């Protein structure tokens, strides 16, 4: 999937598929907003979460059910879909439905997973691990290219700063752009505060706007944003989400900044 635009493109949606009603509500509003603002849009939702800290954390409503909801959204709104994978077998499961396969940050060095994703022929969005440098991401991209797939996106999502916080080095956007692939800024997970004593991540969403403005000026090609009608009730990562009703005003601001450059 290739997006050619002078604007940034948007990857947005809930962290995980919670229900058809919630996903359709989010997709409908985001599709309307991005159409009005002429922003290329990819709907994002994980069909399952395999990387939670606590055993009793929410993972999925059921893989088949969640994937069917994503397929229905794609068909109903005629928009591309992104979901993430955690195992090689996931790639075959999602490839007939999604347009973009996402490699989670903590798996960006997982060779067999990268190869399996590459072999689907889909666009592969590789999130930069919190523990690796931007320069190391060229090797993750090479694993995709070596298997005949040049449809690669790279995503900056912050670097570990101690145990419980992340910091964004905006130089990473230019460093990764030098590899020749679109670079996305993950506005949501960059404000995450992982490894909390509760076993669930915290977050500082009040900094999403500031960091995203910096990312746009630094040359980000896309913005990744998780949103929910009521983040406090979200089943995953609600602490670092933007409320759905706040998205439009943020996008208007970010488009204005992009247009001024």
- State residue 200's pLDDT score: 66
- State residue 239's pLDDT score: 84
Q: Is 45 inside a domain boundary?
A: yes
Give the integer Cα–Cα distance in Å for 119 and 29.
33
Residue 233 belongs to domain with CATH number:
3.20.20.70
Q: Is 252 inside a domain boundary?
A: yes
Which residues of the chain register pLDDT less than 50?
Answer: none
- State residue 199's pLDDT score: 61
- State residue 6's pLDDT score: 76
Task: Find the domain containing 84 and state its range.
Answer: 9-260
Q: What is the pTM of this model?
A: 0.94
C-alpha distances out from residue 199 to 23, 158, 161, 194, 205, Å: 26, 20, 18, 9, 19
Give the integer Cα–Cα distance in Å for 48 and 145.
27
**Lookup result for tokens 């670092």:** 240
- State residue 56's pLDDT score: 65
Give the integer Cα–Cα distance in Å for 130 and 87.
19
| Percent of the chain whose predicted confidence (pLDDT) is above 70 | 94
Q: Is 4 inside a domain boundary?
A: no
**Whose CA is closest to 15, among 252, 238, 246, 254?**
238
Give the integer Cα–Cα distance in Å for 238 and 155.
20
- State residue 197's pLDDT score: 59
Burial 19-54 (b: 16+ CB within 10 A, else e): eeebbeebbebbbebbeeeebbbbbbbbbbbeebee
- State residue 208's pLDDT score: 96
Number of domains, the chain: 1
Structure-derived torsion over alpha carbons of residues 177, 183, 188, 189, reported in degrees to the nearest 10: -60
Query: CB–CB of 192/158 below 8 Å?
Result: yes
Tokens of 131: 């523990």
250: three-class secondary structure by DSSP: helix
- State residue 102's pLDDT score: 98
């Amino acid at each position: 999937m290739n997006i050619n635009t002078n604007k940034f493109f948007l990857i947005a949606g809930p962290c995980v598929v919670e229900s058809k009603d919630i996903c359709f509500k989010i997709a409908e509003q985001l599709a309307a907003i991005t159409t009005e603002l002429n922003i290329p849009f990819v709907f994002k939702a994980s069909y399952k979460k395999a990387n939670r800290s606590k055993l009793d954390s929410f993972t999925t409503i059921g893989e088949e059910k969640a994937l069917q909801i994503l397929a229905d959204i794609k068909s109903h709104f005629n928009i591309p879909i992104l979901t993430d994978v955690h195992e090689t077998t996931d790639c075959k499961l999602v490839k007939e439905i999604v347009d973009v396969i996402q490699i989670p940050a903590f798996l960006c060095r997982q060779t067999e997973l990268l190869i399996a994703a590459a072999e689907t022929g889909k666009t592969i969005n590789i999130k930069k691990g919190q523990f690796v440098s931007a320069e190391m991401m060229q090797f993750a991209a090479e694993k995709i290219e070596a298997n005949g797939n040049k449809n690669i996106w790279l995503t900056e999502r912050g670097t570990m700063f101690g145990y419980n916080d992340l910091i964004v080095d905006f130089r990473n956007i230019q460093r990764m752009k030098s590899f020749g692939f679109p670079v996305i800024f993950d506005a949501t997970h960059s404000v995450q505060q992982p490894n909390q004593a509760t076993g669930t991540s915290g977050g500082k969403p009040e900094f999403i706007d500031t960091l995203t403005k910096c990312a746009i000026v630094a040359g980000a090609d896309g913005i990744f944003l998780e949103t929910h009608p009521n983040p406090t009730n979200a089943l995953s990562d609600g602490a670092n989400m933007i409320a759905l009703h706040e998205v439009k005003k943020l996008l208007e601001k970010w488009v204005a900044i992009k247009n001024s450059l």
